[in-house]
Amino acid sequence: MADSEKSSGKLKWLVIALLFVMAMVITGMGAYLFLGKNSTGAEQAAAFAPIEAPTPLFVKIAPFTVNLTGDDAAASRLLYLGLSLRVGDATTQTLLTDRMPQIRSRLLMLLSGKSAQELTSPEGKAKLAEDIKALFDKPLSEPQPTLALQEVLFTEFIVQ
């Protein structure tokens, strides 16, 4: 009988040790899952956080007045135009600001060849914006870095 008491005592301690190990494993798994969910939640919150757009850079070109071409010389038409150029980087912004006299000269040459009839329609204004953007395909200086010109924006546009 002493053997059976010793066996049952050892078995009892073995069961207690086994239960203790199982409790530790379950606790560890619970902690892993709980902490894993929190970090996943933080990652999801970061993924859905609003992304701030970079501040756009603009180069303002002061308004100017241009004589437009036309059939009747007595009834000359004028264009009063102000515009801004949206650029992609500070290098382009600095280069365009430094070369403003060249830019204004190119714009005056382009605009003086236009007629009032061309510029009064929405399609004509869109075409003019494309033509102005194309002016910057020709380098302003040698060597010139690639210009990051994104958009031509009309701030003032009066045909008289």
Give the tens place of pLDDT for each residue, 23-66: 999 998 888 887 765 555 556 666 677 778 888 999 999 999 99
Give CA–CA dist 79/95, Å, rounded: 27
pLDDT at site 52: 81
HEC-encoded secondary structure of the chain: CHHHHHHHHHHHHHHHHHHHHHHHHHHHHHHHHHHHHHHHHHHHHHHHCCCCCCCCEEEEEEEEEEEEECCCCCCCEEEEEEEEEEECCHHHHHHHHHCHHHHHHHHHHHHHCCEHHHHCCHHHHHHHHHHHHHHCCCCCCCCCCCCCEEEEEEEEEEEC
pLDDT at site 42: 59
Model confidence pLDDT, tens digit, residues 112-141: 999 999 999 999 999 999 999 999 988 888
Structure tokens at 149: 């010109």
Give CA–CA dist 148/150, Å, rounded: 6
- The structure tokens 């102005």 sit at 132
pTM of the model: 0.64
- Asked whether the beta carbons of 63 and 157 are under 8 A apart, the reply is no
Structure tokens at 81: 């135009």
Picking from 111, 113, 81, 87, the residue whose alpha carbon sits closest to that of residue 99 is 87
Q: How would residue 144 be classed by pLDDT, with cut points 50, 70 and 90?
A: confident
pLDDT at site 37: 59
